[in-house]
Copies of this chain bind each other. A is one copy, B any other.
Amino acid sequence: MTLSEEDYIKAIYHLGSGKEQPISTNAIAVQMETKPSSVTDMLKKLSGKNMVKYKKYKGVSLTEHGELTALSIIRKHRLWEVFLVDKLGFAWDEVHEVAEQLEHIKSDKLIDKLDTYLGNPRVDPHGDPIPSKEGEFKKSVKKLISELPLGSEGVCVGVNDSSAAFLKFLDKNGISLGDTLKILEKEDFDGSVSIEVNNKEMRISDQIASNLFLEVLEKN
């Protein structure tokens, strides 16, 4: 697989291999920032390699083989993102471009050793799941802290209320997007929540809990 083929496979996967309808040529062209005619050429090539099922004018979908290939590339991408953030100290929102290159490095041994070195992480710095070598993974969902049960653990990925005051509050309390957050306790009385972030425990009000999104792995 060439670098370009790999990026197409990944794009098709992200455009929703989950869905039952095939992916359109134009959708892929938009995602890849290329022209539809280029996409058509590539789809023929990928079809010849049994990576996609392709019917002229009818769109495309990944084969079993194509999907496993996509998951293997996504695994590499996300493991490298963990490396960049956890080991090299990149910010969570700076890593994508570099991981986009690193994901194409060819070496099974490398990725095995990297996985071990990182402590077999289950999620990347954006809270997205890291597929296993066999292509298995739990889906992740983005939910407000207030909607999540006790014990949930996830990555802070966004705010509902993006007022200056709220962002300032988060900053003051040492909570940044990209941080991993765990829900320790929930108070029925006032909806306040005990959380752990950056090895610190703190209590946040219902107002805060209803405005901060976590990316968490779905149970089972």
Binding site for B on A (CB under 8 A): 84, 87-90, 94, 97-98, 101-102, 105-107, 109-110, 113-114, 117
Contact = CB atoms under 8 A, between A and B. Distances in A.
**Main secondary structure on A side of the interface with B:** helix
Contacts of A107: 97-98, 101
14 contacts: A87-B87, A87-B117, A88-B110, A88-B114, A88-B117, A89-B113, A89-B117, A94-B109, A97-B107, A98-B105, A98-B107, A98-B110, A101-B106, A102-B102
A162 to B, nearest CB: 28
A98 B102 CA distance: 11
Nearest to A97: B107
How often does this chain occur in the complex, in copies? 2
Contacts of A106: 101
Contacts of A97: 107
A88 B105 contact: no
Contacts of A117: 87-89
A98 B84 CA distance: 18
A110 B84 contact: yes
B113 A90 contact: yes
Contacts of A105: 98, 101-102
A97 to B, nearest CB: 7
Contacts of A101: 105-107
Contacts of A109: 90, 94
